[in-house]
Amino acid sequence: MRTGRDMARNLAEAGELIRAAAADGAVFVSTPEMTNILEPDRPRLRSLARREPEDMSVAGFAALSRELGIWLNIGSLALKGEGEKLLNRSLLFRPDGSIAARYDKIHLFDVDLPTGESLRESHAYQGGDCAVLAETPFGRLGLTICYDMRFPHLYHALAQAGADIFTVPSAFTVPTGQAHWHVLLQARAIETGSFVIAAAQGGRHESGRETYGHSLIVAPWGDVLAEGGTEPGVLMADLDPGAVAEARRRIPALMHARRYEVENLNPASSIATSQP
């Protein structure tokens, strides 16, 4: 997608793409991060954001998943939280329109880029504190969002809990996308023997921001099954559930993961316990 600053227009454009995917036979559709709005003006964003029960995008996508009879992952929405900050929330809708899972982005992107662009996601958003796994007829989905992909322990934990497929909806910057997008997503697939579905924002948005695009669907062995460009559109792939078991049989890394301690030889420092 190339989400803009008008929520109603974004909902309509996303709906057209979701309908096109369903018409081509998709039983599961995933959209990018910030499907409902990409708004750099934080005061305006806060004024437009609504709580989940009041958000027109949530109601619209629930109705659409029910009408089309599909599983629908809205990669993320900007929603109003309980306090002053917003939520970057991924929603998974069942074919009856009910919500099967909610995931609030855990890792928030705060960075100063070489281009001079400064992004401070934590200034506007409240980070989540719970990883989410959802059961579907085609496998267990581990829900993640964008910057999460740089934290492999999250994917290991979800895979060890049973995830077969990861969703990684994103709005990646161009410089980091050119350097890291493909390798990080392929690494997450290979390390866990899982499918990775990464729907992405792409191109120059009306706010002036430019996102990398290149939506990817990656197989458990690291093969890229489908790749998009920077123009809005639909990317399709057939997923073979047996590929997960085969990849994990060939490289049973999840079974071999162990807890361990790091011995810090600096006497002034303490010994830290690592995460698997």
Query: Is 33 known to be catalytic?
Result: yes
CA–CA separation, 180 vs 39, rounded Å?
A: 24
Residue 251 phi, psi dihedral angles, 5° rounding: -130, 90
Beta carbons of 194 and 200 less than 8 angstroms apart: no
Query: Is 130 known to be catalytic?
Result: no
Query: Is 105 known to be catalytic?
Result: yes
Q: Which of 33, 39, 80, 210 is catalytic?
A: 33
Contacts of 54 (CB under 8 A, 6+ apart): none
Report CA 180 to chain centroid distance, whole Å: 16
* Burial class of residue 97 (count of CB atoms within 10 Å of its CB; 0-12, 13-18, 19+): middle
Q: Which of 80, 146, 191, 246 is catalytic?
A: 146
Q: Which of 39, 80, 105, 210 is catalytic?
A: 105
Rama region for 99: left / alpha / beta (φ>0; ψ in -120 to 50; rest): beta
Residues designated as active site: 33, 105, 146
